[in-house]
Structure 1
Amino acid sequence: MGHGPLFSSAADAVAGVADGATVAITGSGGGVLEPDSLLAALESRFLGTGAPRGLTLVHALGLGDRDRRGTNAFAHEGMVRRVIGGHWTWSPRMMELAATDRIEAYALPAGAISLLLREIGARRPGLVTRTGLHTFADPRNGGGRANRAAREDLVELLELDGAEHLRYRPFPVDVALVRGSEADPSGNIGCADEAAVLDSLAVAQAAKASGGRVLAQVKRVTDGPLDPRAVTIPAALVDAVVVCPEQWQTYAGEDDPALSGASADGTVHVDLDDPVRAAVARRAAMEVPQGAVLNVGFGMSAHVIDVLAAEGRLAGSTIAIEQGLFDGVPVSGDLFGISRGASARVPSTTQFDLFGMGMLDVCCLGLAQADASGSVNVSQFGGRTIGPGGFVDISQNARKAVFCGTFTAKGLEVDVRDGGVRIVSEGRVHKFVDAVEQITYSGPFAAQEGREALFVTERAVFELTPGGVALTEVAPGVDVERDILPHMGFRPLIKDVRPMPAEVFRKGRA
């Protein structure tokens, strides 16, 4: 490991990836830290020669553009045999391979995957944690198997000092594909211009500890040594460096200095134009106390940031995102997960450790399905592998989880009036069901541990209690017997029901 790295083309760097190799990659949605040139070279080699075949692909966060980039580069029948992924939706073609059992598909919590790579990199016996207990990752609930082709036990249940834990089993990593902004002549890798550093060091460690190779993509080579404080991956871990001057910071642009930590004006461009989404976000934001450490998820729950900004409360909160960023102005859409003008940037592995220690006071996350026990599903529907991303790591370790969503879906039309709502057309899909298809958040486990959970919709608020889900608030203009109970797969506990605050129902951004 004392030799210097080989500077090479992307094609030469991936030429040694063997059939059956386990390939771990770093990156996040929207092209963040994605080693795109290495991925493209590996795909080109397969399409041109039929090799390498039978790969195992490991990635913690989702990568891609729902078309051709990111993990889409591996979504060719025969190229991969197994995928262990934290989030899948950026690659519909990979989801299709999983749905038709043409690959072995596993979905595990993103944090568990990143931290397992770190443990592999330290040659420890896997990741032992309580994260994932009683969810789909628990071997009693499938152990992360996402289709019928997935048969191996990747997770086992342990009892230590009288408490249950999960052990995510280690495996050898043959190739690591990582990225940085720059490499120095010795091969040290830095990420000065990147929007996040993610789990790049853990990915590299896992390969080197397994006797594998680390292939790094960078935009430039510095004239002299990097400042040691700027090194993300030491040269001793790097086997090949591929210089890609055309490398973009994200899919959105070549370089946005505010995304790599430079100063930003701190202005949140408030998006509360949709009155239904705004009503849900305003009610959810009421659960965020002054000074709270907060995490928000993709979609409707992300509007909680808009509400806090509009109400002048954002400066009093600390935002912590699983990609390793604190504060700043979170980016929406396909670049969700990064921030402009962040106050701190740590590896995502460190951030997941901080989540595990209980740093989060509140998380506001999405709501796709919930059942009578208070369990939530966001990770698999109708056999389609979605993956949880950081949802499990976040929701299971926050003191309070606020799940945000419309009460029904597909065809729902709601008229938000000042002070209340009117259901114009009911959605065809019920979100509150008798039993969720997959457990991404365990209501009974949360209740047992004394963690709080609320379910906020445009017409009602439900609360997790030791006895199950209770209806606690109803929007003005909504009738329980007409607008709520007929559209649920279970009857909630009903007692001490009060009106939802009228101030959440208003049009406009204010």
Structure 2
Amino acid sequence: MRIISVKEAADVVPNGATVAVSGGGYRVTPEALTEALSERFVQTGAPRNLTVVAIAMVERGRGGKGGAASGLNLLARKGMMSRVITSSFSRASSNELNMMISSNAAAAYNLPMGTLIQLLRATAAGRAGFATPVGIGTFVDPRQGGGKMNTAAHEDFCRITSLEGEEMIYYPRLPIDVALIKASAADERGNLFFDREAFDHGTIELAMAAFQSGGKVIAEVNRIVKVGEIHPRMGRIPARIVDAIVVQPDAWEDEQDPVLTGAERRVLTPPSGRNLPRDFIARLAVNRLPTEAMINLGAGLPMYEVPEQARSANRDDLYFTVEQGPMGGWPQVGGVSRNPELILDQNEVFQFYEGGGPDVSILSFGEVDAKGNINVSRFSGMMPGCGGFVNIVHGVRDLIFCGTLTTGSLNETLTPDGLVIAQEGRIRRFVKDVEQITFNAQMGLSSGKRVTIVTDRGIFAVTPQGLVLREIVPGVDVQRDIIDQIPFDITVASDVSTVSAALLMPAPQEVAQPDKTKRA
């Protein structure tokens, strides 16, 4: 095992290299390494012309502080980064990476998270590339842009091919020159362990792709342990492929929370009695879930509000899973779960999702159009990227999309009698044509999917003929609050029903069950 300083690690990266950075958000993130690399460029002007690859956006934004000057934003310097390939970008359009992409200072490609992981796995295995039907008919289809996010991305990253008569998107192998990765610990041989992480987020794929490409693997760890001190099942990366290790003892306060990593199990505090429109939408979604269902939760409202409304409703029967790896438990912000029952590697998660494993997926939407197409990747001046959304909707057959009908200065409250809209949102989320197709609704329907859109004002079914309003929220005027806010024709079902008034308010807290996983 070779231990080096962060400065020595930064010096390993040559000009023109393809550099892979592990992590998602602020977890499993080699922050000391990205900081050192950024400082080297500021001081010396090198390394230059880097291609940066990341499974997802890496930035330390928490608590409303944003993620500027952290993670991938540290590498978003003119001359330093020339291309970025990832599944998601910053949610803040003012952060450095998104500003660089918007100004065309670097070429940007947005790949589905599961596809990127599988491409790296194929690269690690020495294969020529990776072909998948995931993304056909969406913005990652070469005929609809091929995942290009700006005009600087003029080179094609993928192409259409055919296998046994089925259309596929083919991605050539993605060699990695340097992988900057994070683990909890290294033993004295140099094996890497993730015993204090909530997930590994495809880190093994990055490391193995770099090794097979003849590149370098530099690992940032919080501690060094003796061989055998940590259970071998917690090990993910063998010493053979690790070139050097940087030790950084400090970890962020909840980064290695044992309730999130599975090291401890606790009875959770009861959910709050908050009743914002997003809580109500989550409650509507939970009310539609079948007994004993396995549920995938996407980012945003589904991951944050749905688990809490399920807890309030005593839905101990539901089994939640999120794309970062946790299975079971109660998900929360950041792709983690409190009291998870098991944690899979992301490659395994996406194989499971693309094979249709979960019974239902609950996802957010940014835009919806007349055909029922969904856009979550680029809209209203925001560029969050698709994350694992495209992989999830490819496989899961029952899809529920959640969001408010309008947004931006929207002011509405819930009362026992119904929804009261004091001020309409200035931004319509139902649009004639979405800016990007992240889910092709009509292709989904043709493959047998059931697609439902749950909003603060009503519940829509997506059909081959378009959107059909099936349920109306009490207090809503259909013409004024729904039809007039949608710039295309919808159908109001002849048997349209009214949402139960009992769902307008949260369940009494004295009957809420705080922790379903204490049974384990």
Q: Report SS of the residue matched to 2:444.
A: helix
Deviation at 1:272, TM superposition (A): 4.9
1:249-289 CA deviation, whole Å, 9 max, x = no partner?
xx444642222212322426424513312221111112221
Q: Give the 3 Å change call, closer, same or farther, for CA 373–271 of structure 1 in structure 2.
A: farther
**CA 1:312–1:14 in structure 2 vs 1: closer, same or farther (change >3 Å)?**
same
Q: 1:154-202: CA deviations, max 9, x gaps?
A: 1211222222221222221101111111111211111111111111110
d(CA) in 2 for partners of 1:360, 1:367:
19
Output one character per residue of 1:77-133: Cα deviation in whole Å (capped at 9) or x when no partner: 111000011111157210010001010011111111111111111111222212111
2-structure distance, mates of 1:489, 1:257: 48
Rounded Cα–Cα distance in structure 2 between residues aligned with 1:331 and 1:417 = 27
Residue 224 of structure 1: how far off its partner (Å): 2.9
| Distance verdict in 2 for CA 1:398–1:113, change over 3 Å | same
**Which aligned pairs between 1:33-432 and structure 2 lie closer than 5 A?**
33-64=28-59, 65=61, 66-89=67-90, 92-225=95-228, 227-246=231-250, 248=251, 251-253=252-254, 255-267=256-268, 269-302=270-303, 303-313=305-315, 315-332=316-333, 336-381=334-379, 384-432=382-430
CA distance in 1, matches of 2:29, 2:219: 11
Which residue in 2 is equivalent to 1:8?
A: 4
Tell me the distance in 1 between the aligned counterparts of 2:391 and 2:339.
25
Give me the whole-angstrom Cα distance separating, in 2, the residues matched to 1:475 and 1:325: 34
- SS of match in other structure, 1:381: coil
Change (3 A) 1:382 1:406: closer
- CA offset digits 1:44-72 (Å, max 9, x no partner): 11111110011001111221022122111
Letter matched to residue 47 of structure 1: V
Letter in 1 for 2:503: V
2:478 maps to a residue whose letter is V
Structure 1 counterpart of 2:222, one-letter code: K
Report the 3-state secondary structure (helix = DSSP H, G, I; strand = E; otherwise coil) of the residue aligned with 1:144.
coil
What is the distance in 1 between the residues matched to 2:90 and 2:101? 12
Contact kept in structure 2, 1:63 and 1:90, CA below 8 Å: no
Retained in 2: the 8 A contact 1:419–1:503? no
Partner of residue 24, structure 1: 20
Contact 2:401 2:452 in 1 (8 A): yes
1:473 alignment partner in structure 2: 471
Give the counterpart letter for 1:506 in structure 2. M
Letter in 1 for 2:331: P
- Which whole-Å CA distance do the structure 2 matches of 1:34 and 1:449 have between them? 38
Bigger shift: 296-305 or 185-194? Answer: 296-305
Matching residue's letter, 1:130: P
- Alignment TM-score, normalising by the size of structure 1: 0.94
Aligned partner of residue 241 in structure 1, secondary structure: strand
How well do the aligned residues superpose, as a CA RMSD in angstroms? 1.7
Distance 2:255 2:319 in 1: 29
CA contact (8 A) 2:52 2:81 kept: yes
Report the more deviating stretch, 443-452 or 492-501.
492-501
* Deviation string, structure 1 residues 405-451 (Cα, Å, up to 9, x no partner): 11111122223221422322111111111000011111111111111
Residues 99 and 383, structure 1, Cα contact 8 Å, conserved in 2 = no
SS of the residue corresponding to residue 6 of structure 1 reads coil
Task: List gaps (5 residues or longer) in structure 2.
Answer: 62-66, 510-520
Contact 2:130 2:173 in 1 (8 A): yes
| 1:209-237 Cα deviation digits (max 9, x unpaired) | 11101111111111334543332100111
State the AA in 1 paired with 2:320.
Answer: I
Amino acid at match of 1:233: I
CA distance in 2, matches of 1:272, 1:77: 47
1:458 corresponds in structure 2 to 456
What is the rounded CA distance, in whole Å, between the counterparts of 1:254 and 1:383 in structure 2? 31
Change (3 A) 1:256 1:382: closer
Residue pair 1:266, 1:328 contacting (<8 A) in 2 also: no
Query: CA-to-partner distance for each residue in 1:377-398, whole Å, 9 max, x for gaps?
Result: 1111256532111111122221
Inter-CA distance 99–311: structure 2 relative to 1 (3 Å threshold): same
Distance 2:344 2:357 in 1: 14
Q: Distance in 2 between matches of 1:190 and 1:259?
A: 16
**Post-superposition offset of 1:477:** 2.1
Distance 1:436 1:318, change over 3 A: same
Aligned length: 498
Q: Is the 8 A contact 1:182 1:191 kept in 2?
A: yes
User: In structure 2, the residue corresponding to 1:396 is in which secondary structure?
Assistant: helix
Is contact 1:268–1:306 with CA below 8 Å preserved after alignment?
no
**Which amino acid in the other structure matches residue 232 of structure 1?**
R
Asked whether the 8 Å contact 2:275–2:505 carries over to 1, the reply is: no
Q: How high is the TM-score relative to the length of structure 2?
A: 0.92
User: Does the aligned pair in 1 maintain the 2:262–2:339 contact within 8 Å?
Assistant: yes
1:151–1:371 CA distance, 2 compared to 1 (3 A): same
